[in-house]
């Protein structure tokens, strides 16, 4: 386990074995996504993708909220200075949510508190969500004149269209129990167990063959919108069938011992 490292933006990073933990640590602002925090999250996710020792990522928040979305105070201050506002798709770099989807290391959101607006989109961009009971989830952008660009595209793909559109059009929140019923949240556990449950699941994932897991995520993400015949013919990422780990995995299974993955 490494010592936690805190960046000025409020992002805390820690490594636990093959799991990287990213903690949003701006509790006084309900972990709002400032420009600096978004940039640091992107930088850290890119670093995780490049580090063969990182096999799973957990994203969580410090304090009573997971994330309250984009930093509206920062946006207002820029408005007051007369700075033009650039919509998400008109910015120089990729959005945080795009980078999350393109990071072929499994990412688990540990939702110990409310996840709303851009914070809900952050959770949506993760692969797996574990939540505390009764927390609020939703996209209130229509009530404040924002757009929820990512959520408008992704939410109708995750849950029944009518429910997704009602959430988008009204801006009303749902609970974690509702989200679990629709399959949007993998499981609801007591608040004190959210992070331990996410870490345990991440460790379980990290114990598997890293090339296989990466191949599965990349194939699943890229194949989701393709016709079945085209998706079955995807050949993305490292090929586990031709890897040293494939031979090691079979040998370990037959010899009834834990495998020693090399990532090759």
Catalytic residue among 50, 74, 121, 225: 121
Q: Name the one residue in this structure whose structure tokens are 């959210």.
A: 194
Catalytic residue among 77, 83, 102, 141: 141
Do 153 and 109 contact (CB within 8 A), yes or no?
Answer: no
CA trace torsion 34, 199, 99, 114 (10° rounding): -40
Alpha carbons within 13 A on the beta-carbon side of 248: 16
102 is catalytic: no
Structure tokens at 121: 């989109």
With CA atoms as reference, report the closest residue to 202 among 190, 218, 215, 186: 186
**Residues constituting the chain:** 264
With CA atoms as reference, report the closest residue to 164 among 176, 177, 152: 152
255 is catalytic: no
Q: What are phi and psi of 254, to 5 degrees?
A: -70, -30
Q: What's the Cα-to-Cα distance from 130 to each of 87, 176, 244, rounded to whole Å?
A: 30, 9, 33
By annotation, the residues acting in catalysis are: 121, 141
């Amino acid at each position: 386990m490494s010592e936690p490292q805190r960046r000025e933006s409020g992002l805390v990073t820690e490594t636990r074995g093959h799991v990287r933990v990213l903690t949003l640590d701006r509790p006084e602002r309900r972990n709002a996504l400032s420009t600096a925090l978004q940039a640091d999250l992107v930088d850290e996710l890119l670093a995780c993708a490049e580090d063969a020792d990182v096999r799973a990522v957990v994203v969580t928040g410090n304090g009573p909220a997971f994330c309250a979305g984009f930093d509206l105070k920062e946006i207002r201050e820029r408005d007051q200075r007369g700075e033009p506002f650039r919509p998400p798709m008109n910015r120089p770099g990729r959005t945080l949510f795009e980078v999350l989807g393109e990071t072929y290391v499994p990412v688990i959101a540990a939702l110990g508190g409310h996840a709303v607006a851009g914070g809900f989109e952050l959770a949506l961009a993760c692969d797996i969500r574990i939540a505390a009971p009764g927390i609020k989830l939703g996209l209130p952008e229509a009530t404040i004149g924002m757009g929820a660009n990512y959520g408008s595209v992704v939410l109708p793909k995750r849950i029944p269209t009518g429910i997704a559109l009602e959430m988008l059009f009204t801006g009303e929140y749902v609970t974690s129990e509702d989200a679990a019923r629709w399959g949007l949240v993998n499981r609801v556990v007591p608040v004190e167990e959210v992070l331990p449950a996410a870490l345990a699941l991440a460790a379980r994932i990290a114990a598997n063959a890293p090339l296989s897991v990466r191949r599965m995520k990349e194939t699943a993400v890229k194949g989701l919108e393709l016709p079945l015949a085209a998706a079955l013919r995807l050949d993305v990422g490292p090929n586990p069938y031709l890897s040293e780990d494939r031979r090691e995995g079979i040998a370990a299974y037959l010899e009834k011992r834990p495998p020693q993955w090399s990532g090759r």
